[in-house]
Amino acid sequence: MPEETALQERIPRGRIVSAPEHFVSASLQQDIARHGLDSPRRDFLRKSFLGAAAGVAAATLGRRALAAQGDPAILEPQPWATSLGQPVAARPVRSAICS
């Protein structure tokens, strides 16, 4: 069994836990505050947003393609919907009194 960290031992499984505070180091915060986002950071964010947008676009196009094909059970006539069936008097009604 792998070693569990102290944090994992305290958290009951199956519970939602809020994100830890101050997960960004103070030095990184100061660096961004002083110099702003440099080119590699901007490129990372740009590529992340482009990847997310591409994923959303692919999912949307996939749904549209499936919707355009349609469900054959709905689009093709079924045998029970294309025939008249048995006439009303095909089987006479028998009551319990007449038996």
Say which residues have a Cβ less than 8 Å from residue 37's Cβ, sequence separation at least 6: 45
Q: Where are the domains of the chain?
A: 38-67
Entry field: residues in the chain: 99
> How confident is residue 1, by pLDDT bands cut at 50, 70 and 90?
very low
CA 84 – CA 43 distance, rounded (Å): 67
pLDDT score, position 55: 93
At 67-78, the pLDDT tens digits run 777 788 888 888
- Of 46-55, 62-71, 88-97, give the lowest mean pLDDT range: 88-97
Radius of gyration (C-alpha) of the chain in whole angstroms = 33
